[in-house]
Structure 1
Amino acid sequence: MRVRDRVVVVTGAAGGIGRAMARRFADEGAAGVVVADLDEAGAAAAASEIGDRAVAVRTDVSVEAEVQALVRAAEEAFGPVGLFCSNAGVVTGHGLDAGDLDWTRTIDVNLLAHVYAARAVVPGMVERGGGYLLNTCSAAGLISCPGDAPYAVTKSAAIAFAEWISIHYRAKGIGVSVLAPQGVRTGLLGEGAENSLVYRGVVASGEILSPEQVARTVIDGLDAERFYILPHPEVAEYVRRKYDDTDRWLAGMSRFVASLEG
């Protein structure tokens, strides 16, 4: 899947991984890049960095009507969407203490936004003979997330949905990749997060990558059309261990969380 000459939509693109991907897609020769985010000013700033081949669209991805409007705006600006990057996500930092509002918001953004994106673009892609979805789902969807139950559960569900789309639409020309990094230097690991279990777990798990490093991995993964794009390749080994001996893996993860809790 080559980005060159494609119209690309990136959600959650005002900063972090989304912003880095938007810039990289432009560098790779995308016909147009649509920078979408709830942060309107941040999206506009990211689009201005790219120039004439980018537009910013304020979008709440938890609202299906806004995702549909985003796709219409992309088509009006540049033409049919060839690659939709459903990248926006939220964390809660809560376990059993997560309230219903925490769960609802996380489900809406981390899971249903992927569903809304697929509904908005897949039928048109099928009619045109092809298209591609890139869903940011995090390594948490594969190997859980110490300290954040809603995040772990919704990211896992998002991967399951991506699998379902791939199974049902691959033969119709639709490609799907799941971006699953561990620690990345973004606002989710920003000031004030240092004392959280989530932060300590991420830092203890391995290297903290820059968003630009992740974007480079995305290009390589899309070129190869790999379902799992893993900026931290060790995640593949963690997943193998998980399924080779799940009981042993769960015991090890339990010890890991206990060490983080001190």
Structure 2
Amino acid sequence: MKFEGSSVVITGAGSGIGAALARRAAKAGAKVCVSDLDAAKAKAVADEIGGIAVACDVRDEAQVQALIAQASEALGDVDIYVSNAGLGRGDPSHAASQSNADWTLNWQVHVMSHVYAARALLPMMMERGSGHLVNVASAAGLLSQIGDAAYSATKHAAVSFAESLAISHGGDGIGVSVVCPQYVATPLLGLSDEDAREGLLTADDVAEAILLGVEANQFLILSHPQVQGYAIHRAKDHDRWITGMQMLRGKALDTFGAVDVANFYKLV
């Protein structure tokens, strides 16, 4: 689906990948609704690109429904919905050490937000036979993120749900994409564009990959192509892959003295 002339909603768009994609979409000729938990950040990006801003807590199904209703009223039927909001807390100690509240938060933001959007949009998209759902997951959804079990588990679930959407509704004329970036210089890692280097992309790099992938009706969008190779190695010999990940974890401990998610990009 082309962005030009389309009505586009992007969650988590007050900064990072979401903001970069909002700018890219507007430049491509889309009508953009910028949504974020932080209303001021959403408004700043929307004002910059000539879009509209709607504050939304994607953990709340009623707020997701209201977001879609407001965007539809202002911009027309939603053609492309990018479910991008995300977070990362990290394991305090062992792999099951995050609190129930943090596990629930990860589940709500990384999985149920996609479900809520699809539940609201699918009937309308099926009726008109068009539309595109974009779920932003992570390379952790194909591999794993050392030091954040809740993040990895819920990103795997996000990939699986996107597969279900594509399998069930490709015949209805609905496109589905799942985005699985590796390390990106965004506020999630406490980084900015100035920190980008080989293997650590800017948010705009990922936004460009999303735009091109959606317009090509691509299901799996890999801004970091090397992730495909890692996933193939994992599938071919899972035991060997686990051993390699254990070694990488050990390297992180030796290098940084701790398993710090924000520093892993320096090792890959």
TM-score relative to the length of structure 2? 0.90
Deviation for aligned residue 1:227: 0.9
Tell me the secondary structure at the aligned position of residue 96 of structure 2. coil
Task: Name the structure 1 match of 2:83.
Answer: 86
Task: Name the structure 1 match of 2:110.
Answer: 110
Tell me the secondary structure at the aligned position of residue 143 of structure 1. coil
Task: In structure 1, give the amino acid aligned to 2:72.
Answer: E
Task: In structure 2, give the amino acid aligned to 1:34.
Answer: C
Task: In structure 1, give the amino acid aligned to 2:168.
Answer: H
How far apart, CA to CA, are the structure 2 residues paired with 1:227 and 1:58? 28
Task: Name the structure 1 match of 2:9.
Answer: 9
Where do 5+ consecutive residues of structure 2 fail to align? 255-268
Task: In structure 1, give the amino acid aligned to 2:139.
Answer: A
Q: Following superposition of structure 1 onto structure 2, how do residues 1-80 of structure 1 map, counting pairs within 5 Å?
A: 1-30=1-30, 32-51=31-50, 54-80=51-77
How far apart, CA to CA, are the structure 2 residues paired with 1:78 and 1:226? 25
After TM superposition, which residue ranges in structure 1, 4 or more long, deviate above 4 angstroms?
none
Task: Name the structure 2 match of 1:120.
Answer: 120
Give a deviation string over 1:49-97, Cα, whole Å, max 9, x none. 101xx10000000000000000000111011000000000111111321
Task: In structure 2, give the amino acid aligned to 1:222.
Answer: V
Tell me the secondary structure at the aligned position of residue 177 of structure 2. strand
RMSD: 1.3
TM-score relative to the length of structure 1? 0.92
Task: Name the structure 2 match of 1:219.
Answer: 211
How far apart, CA to CA, are the structure 2 residues paired with 1:224 and 1:6? 15
How far apart, CA to CA, are the structure 2 residues paired with 1:242 and 1:226? 22
Aligned residues: 247
Task: In structure 2, give the amino acid aligned to 1:255.
Answer: M
Deviation for aligned residue 1:120: 1.1
Q: Following superposition of structure 1 onto structure 2, how do residues 139-154 of structure 1 map, counting pairs within 5 Å?
A: 139-154=139-154
Deviation for aligned residue 1:236: 0.4
Task: In structure 1, give the amino acid aligned to 2:33.
Answer: V
Deviation for aligned residue 1:223: 2.1
How far apart, CA to CA, are the structure 2 residues paired with 1:241 and 1:227? 21
Identity percentage of aligned residues: 47
Task: Name the structure 2 match of 1:175.
Answer: 175
Give a deviation string over 1:106-162, Cα, whole Å, max 9, x none. 100011000001011111001111110111001111111011010000000000000
Deviation for aligned residue 1:218: 1.1
Where do 5+ consecutive residues of structure 1 fail to align? 192-202
Q: Does 1:260 align with 2:252?
A: yes
How far apart, CA to CA, are the structure 2 residues paired with 1:240 and 1:224? 23
Give a deviation string over 1:31-51, Cα, whole Å, max 9, x none. x10000000000000001101
Tell me the secondary structure at the aligned position of residue 84 of structure 1. strand
